[in-house]
A and B are shown apart, each in its own frame.
Chain A
């Protein structure tokens, strides 16, 4: 893409409100939008601004932010489009929290969605005077589900004077205005029962419920004309295929965002591929609205970043050393490597974790600014005539480097005695660095590898790779009947200066090194 302006077109994939709202907002911001719908949900009004393609299936997306190629199958035909950014914006799927209630088609048992729709369209069925609403009882009910149940109750009580009883385990109110709504519902006469045990009896014309109220500590019976079963959310089934086509990590439950706060709010492991609302995780109403704005904000920020960044090469590659083994392609967490007869590295996709360089068996890849020869001089400062041979060498990733820079100066008795070597990410470390270090210096030397905590690494896998590497080195030392304690791994957050000091002091003690 050298010299060419970045492609600004955004592809939005979805099946409902989120995708429509996002497309409209992006069009307003001046981004051309290609809206890909599979099957749309009922009542979705498709906006007029964006170009719309129905029923297209995504095969793959290669390239980098601002310059992606999207391959689609549309009516047995393969088409390719140039795309700048992609947003996956499917709604999550709602399903009843309980299937213990016999056949779901029972005339007196409705799902929350059915109740919401019926009441919006026609009002409650005639003759319904009492309604029992049932939430999940194992404590894992959600704020989003609770919000919908409480809104429905308020509506039933206030518009139709229907008596309501909410059966739940924990009343979830952790969202703006929800405690107020809960108060309003109770003031309106709703009986709220907290229980984890329940028996339901279905009779023609009535629902009978028996439960053990944990707050009143009593066995209670109640009956109603209608039972509304709450719903929980799970990812849309199509996300699995999309995750593979886009090369995305998955999070808890199969959503397309890993549970890593460094990805908040809408980021994925691939720069320029974003997730909104029910494609990122289950969300309540407040969270969904923030999520849509965050995507618009991110795309606008990224499009400026691409221009400022320019094509900077991050990776140095030596074809003669490359065995074309595909390892780099396989291990890159950011989809930054494309493989034909040799690897191609996308500089705007690369996030400089260096995992490809550490795992390349031929050492054919180097990260610019973090080349092997630079490490050599930092690991062995004495060979350049700088200082004495250090007793402990510490590798520390960029994110925590500030901690040792601030605290690691020479007059600090604990951290100052360590030769700190900064690496872009702990995942960049090669086994050879540690072995060489231990081999060349006999005796009491120790090696510390400081990485981020698991699930809190910018590259997702950096910590896991570092842990694996330390294990490998320890295993080798054991095989050679050497002391494996000389190598240790310290997972650390950038705000844990005190703990780093304690851990290093412990390590010294274990190695019997004086500080």
Chain B
């Protein structure tokens, strides 16, 4: 490659980090821009879900590995707290303008990898969930952070360990009326892995699972599923209305085996799904991109613009890594043909 223009990577989550590392392996330098104060993305805030010293294959630690490796790689420049002001084609290349702190910078790039990731579903969009009004009702992501910080589940209202907790699946997924007619692919995995860890560390905690269909994830799904089968109370229904029950418990009304029942839990977890990132609108306009039926941007796969990871649809961490590596092979093909 004669041209030493760098490749622009937008987003420093697991997709952006993997992209930068793979490009560096191919001898290609990159600039990685990240809005936040640190790289790692959403997954960087999640908890390790190992049980009794055995990995449960959630992939969260791979982000930590990637952050470390990126920081040690010469070909990669990271620009934190940087947002993209403008990004346009310029002949066969791209011109970008960025805002970093108070200042503005710009650069010319041979190709663009959009790795801006996803936005978790905001349960406030569904008012009957009562999220934000009812105490001790948290999202799956909040539970991730709680387990990471505190080592176990606690009720936000009083800091006590819950005696019983329930997961509600498909919140903001598989719901065409919300414009989200897709499975988010990650929620069954994170919820069941966290359930397994909580059950192992706090065997007295009763766990209930509200669900439509349990999705397969990972290679040891059969083992995890069988191990949890009798440890969890399964209810094949997604409850609609949530209310504050006595003792700051979370109440729901469900129809279980033909009977209307009021159930209450010390802690309830909404397994929120993944949606397109808010950043997409700007890229869509600047680069003239198309959206797929599911609302995520579609990777053109040509012309120097590439999408990797959950920017192109819901994906697990291992899938994001695989997708990003596959995308980098398209990028190198593109650059070779361009010269």
**Quick check: is A293 within 8 A (CB to CB) of the other chain?**
yes
Q: Are A493 and B50 in contact (CB under 8 A)?
A: yes
Q: Are B64 and A494 in contact (CB under 8 A)?
A: yes
- Cβ < 8 Å to A, chain B residues 240-293: 257-258, 293
- Fill in one digit per residue for A125-143: 1 if any B CB lies within 8 Å of its CB, else 0: 0000000000000011111
Per the bound structure, the CA–CA distance linking A298 and B64 in Å amounts to 21
Contact pick for B61, options A143, A251, A294, A493, CB 8 Å: A493
Contact pick for A454, options B25, B44, B54, B216, CB 8 Å: B54
**Quick check: is A77 within 8 A (CB to CB) of the other chain?**
no
**Quick check: is A268 within 8 A (CB to CB) of the other chain?**
no
Per the bound structure, the CA–CA distance linking A179 and B173 in Å amounts to 10
**Quick check: is A172 within 8 A (CB to CB) of the other chain?**
yes
Q: Are A252 and B219 in contact (CB under 8 A)?
A: yes
Which of A97-105, A108-116, A284-292, A315-323 forms part of the interface with chain B? A284-292
- Cβ < 8 Å to A, chain B residues 116-160: 148-149, 151
**Quick check: is B101 within 8 A (CB to CB) of the other chain?**
no
Which of A259-267, A434-442, A476-484 forms part of the interface with chain B? A259-267
Q: Which residues of A contact B236 (CB under 8 A)?
A: 194, 214-215
With contacts A173-B213, A300-B329 taken as known, whether A290 is within 8 angstroms of B323 at the C-beta atoms is yes
Which of A63-71, A204-212, A348-356, A496-504 forms part of the interface with chain B? A496-504
Q: Are A300 and B216 in contact (CB under 8 A)?
A: no
Q: Shortest beta-carbon distance, A175 to chain B, in Å?
A: 7
Q: Are A453 and B25 in contact (CB under 8 A)?
A: no
Number of chain A residues close to chain B: CB under 8 A: 61
**Quick check: is A42 within 8 A (CB to CB) of the other chain?**
no
- Fill in one digit per residue for B51-94: 1 if any A CB lies within 8 Å of its CB, else 0: 00111010111111100100000000000000000000000000
**Quick check: is A183 within 8 A (CB to CB) of the other chain?**
yes
Q: Which residues of B contact A294 (CB under 8 A)?
A: 322, 325-326, 329
With contacts A259-B220, A399-B65 taken as known, whether A140 is within 8 angstroms of B225 at the C-beta atoms is yes
- A253 and chain B: residue at smallest CB distance: B219
What total of A-B pairs shows CB separation below 8 Å? 163
Q: Which residues of A contact B258 (CB under 8 A)?
A: 217
Per the bound structure, the CA–CA distance linking A499 and B50 in Å amounts to 12
Q: Shortest beta-carbon distance, A432 to chain B, in Å?
A: 24
Per the bound structure, the CA–CA distance linking A452 and B50 in Å amounts to 10
**Quick check: is B42 within 8 A (CB to CB) of the other chain?**
no
**Quick check: is A296 within 8 A (CB to CB) of the other chain?**
yes
Contact pick for B64, options A301, A493, A498, CB 8 Å: A493
Which of B3-11, B107-115, B179-187, B202-210 forms part of the interface with chain A? B179-187
- Fill in one digit per residue for A297-324: 1 if any B CB lies within 8 Å of its CB, else 0: 1101100110000000000000000000
Per the bound structure, the CA–CA distance linking A301 and B322 in Å amounts to 15
- Cβ < 8 Å to B, chain A residues 462-506: 463, 467, 489, 491, 493-496, 498-499, 502
Show 7 A/B contacts (Cβ-Cβ < 8 Å), sorted by A: A175-B185, A290-B326, A293-B330, A294-B329, A297-B329, A455-B57, A495-B47
Closest 7 CB pairs of A and B: A293-B326, A491-B53, A456-B55, A174-B215, A493-B61, A493-B48, A301-B25
Could you list which residues of chain B lie within 8 angstroms of chain A, going by C-beta atoms? 22, 25-27, 44, 47-48, 50, 53-55, 57, 59-65, 68, 148-149, 151, 174, 176, 181-183, 185, 188, 212-223, 225, 236, 257-258, 293-294, 313-314, 317-319, 321-323, 325-330, 332
Q: What 17 additional pairs, Cβ within 8 angstroms, besides A259-B57, A300-B329, A495-B148?
A: A141-B216, A170-B213, A174-B183, A177-B182, A179-B181, A179-B183, A194-B213, A194-B236, A217-B258, A259-B218, A262-B62, A265-B322, A290-B322, A290-B326, A297-B325, A300-B26, A499-B48
